[in-house]
């Protein structure tokens, strides 16, 4: 577009306004008023705005259009007395954004009338996932977090990270709509290879909710770190259109009882050394609601082998009548147990005063219901 000045001047417009999105993802950018006898011809853009963002341009009671994401909108013409106000929804809470106004200002001379050009959404790079925040779930007390949601959110994701001795499985997560009181399904997804981490997705519906309340209940004696965010596209079977996948996974037998089929385990290893006969503690009792899934036990005797075997016993709860396993040196030093559940202490009992090493491999799991 070529503008020619007759009796006035053409001046460049290069304005910016930075605002931080509120906890609900909104922001308002207000620019200076156009001076009398001036005409602004300009476009508006918010670089880096997510696909979820929607912007409305107004001056007083007049709306000059809407656009989404990091698209540009214009050209727009303002005359003397107009004042640009740009309102936004769908921004990432707590993130700073800068609105940019680029164009020309005609003083005295009035240019030809122009209208905004339609734009295609494809000029905005598609963002399929956005990070919203992080925090720490206090030990014993749990935590409640309010997450503002936008109509463009397909689901929320929650990531929990504990340790081997204090896994994230000690946390239970629930999600409730702030207006509808709808209880959303919290779906575990296998995104982490570490047994002490948990990942969940929460498929959303377009109801009248403006936020979802995340409730973290804990059985952990230490704080657990979490992250959360939103998905802007279909992810996982939980939110894909029905029929997109042709795979059926059966996780129960014909009677409806859940199956617990595990062919791996033993990610945690604990050992103890004894130099006396009698009992020695190998594993303390697991936290309430949890059990040890014991994969194997092993025994090493540092003395000289003889025809009289050295006997070692792994006792459940320290009871001589509740044997987890018995090993004899030099005949059988390792016993594979294949995931036996133990919900109390494990104690070793040695028949020798010679230096001996005892080892157990196990996983800490939520105690299952076994009918």
For 67-108, what is each residue's pLDDT tens digit? 888 888 888 999 889 999 999 988 888 889 999 999 999 887
Task: Could you please state the CATH topology (level 3) that the domain comprising 268-366 is classified under.
Answer: Jelly Rolls (2.60.120)
Residue 294 contacts residue 364 (beta carbons within 8 Å): no
Confidence of residue 367 (pLDDT cuts 50, 70, 90): confident
Span 157-166, mean pLDDT?
A: 93
Every domain of the chain with CATH number 2.60.120.680 lies at 129-235
Q: What pLDDT, on the 0 to 100 scale, is given for residue 158?
A: 95
Confidence of residue 7 (pLDDT cuts 50, 70, 90): low
C-alpha dihedral, 137 to 142 to 144 to 150, nearest 10°: 50
Span 318-345, mean pLDDT?
A: 88
Span 117-132, mean pLDDT?
A: 64
C-alpha gyration radius of the chain = 32
Confidence of residue 263 (pLDDT cuts 50, 70, 90): low
Span 356-369, mean pLDDT?
A: 89
Model confidence over 293-316: pLDDT tens digits? 999 999 988 888 777 788 889 999
Q: What pLDDT, on the 0 to 100 scale, is given for residue 368?
A: 84
Residue of 43, 65, 45 whose CA lies nearest to 56? 65
Q: What pLDDT, on the 0 to 100 scale, is given for residue 44?
A: 93
Model confidence over 184-221: pLDDT tens digits? 999 988 888 888 999 999 999 888 888 999 999 998 89
Q: Which CATH superfamily is domain 129-235 in?
A: GOLD domain (2.60.120.680)
Decide which of 2.60.120, 1.10.10, 2.60.40, 1.10.3470 is the CATH code for 9-118.
2.60.120
Span 249-257, mean pLDDT?
A: 59
Span 241-258, mean pLDDT?
A: 56
Residue of 174, 66, 62 whose CA lies nearest to 118? 66
- 237 class by beta-carbon count within 10 Å (0-12 exposed, 13-18 middle, 19+ buried): middle
Confidence of residue 256 (pLDDT cuts 50, 70, 90): low
Confidence of residue 1 (pLDDT cuts 50, 70, 90): very low
Confidence of residue 28 (pLDDT cuts 50, 70, 90): very high
Every domain of the chain with CATH number 2.60.120.340 lies at 268-366
Residue 233 contacts residue 128 (beta carbons within 8 Å): yes
């Amino acid at each position: 577009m070529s503008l020619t000045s007759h009796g006035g001047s053409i001046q460049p417009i290069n304005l910016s306004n930075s605002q931080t999105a509120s906890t609900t993802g909104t922001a308002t950018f207000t620019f200076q008023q156009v001076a009398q006898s001036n005409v602004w011809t300009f476009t508006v853009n918010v670089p880096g705005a997510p696909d979820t963002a929607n912007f409305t341009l107004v001056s007083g009671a007049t709306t000059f259009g809407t656009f989404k994401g990091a698209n540009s909108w214009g050209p727009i013409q303002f005359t003397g007395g107009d004042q640009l106000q740009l309102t936004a929804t769908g921004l990432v809470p707590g993130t700073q954004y800068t609105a940019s106004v680029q164009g020309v200002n005609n003083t005295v001379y009035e240019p030809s009338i122009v209208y905004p050009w339609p734009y295609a959404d494809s000029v905005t790079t598609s963002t399929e996932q956005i990070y919203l925040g992080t925090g720490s779930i206090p030990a014993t007390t749990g935590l409640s977090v309010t997450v503002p949601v936008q109509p463009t959110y397909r689901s929320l994701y929650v990531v929990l990270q504990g340790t081997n001795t204090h896994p994230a499985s000690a946390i239970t997560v629930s999600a409730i709509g702030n207006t509808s009181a709808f209880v959303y399904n919290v779906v575990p997804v296998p995104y982490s290879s570490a047994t002490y981490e948990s990942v969940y997705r929460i498929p959303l519906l377009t109801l009248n909710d403006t936020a979802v309340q995340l409730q973290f209940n804990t059985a952990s004696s230490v704080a657990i770190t979490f992250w959360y965010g939103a998905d802007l596209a279909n992810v996982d079977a939980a939110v894909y259109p029905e029929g997109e996948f042709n795979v059926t996974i059966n996780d129960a037998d014909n009677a409806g009882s859940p199956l617990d089929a595990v062919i791996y385990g033993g990610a945690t290893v604990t050992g103890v050394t004894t130099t006396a006969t009698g009992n020695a503690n190998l594993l303390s009792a697991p936290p309430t609601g949890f059990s040890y899934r014991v994969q194997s036990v092993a025994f090493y005797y540092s003395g000289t082998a003889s025809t009289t075997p050295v006997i070692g016993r792994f006792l459940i709860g320290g009871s001589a009548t509740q044997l987890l396993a018995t090993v004899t040196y030099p005949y059988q030093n390792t016993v594979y147990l294949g995931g036996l559940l133990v919900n109390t202490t494990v104690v070793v009992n040695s028949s020798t005063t010679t230096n001996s090493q005892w080892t157990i491999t196990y996983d800490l799991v939520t105690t299952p219901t076994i009918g």
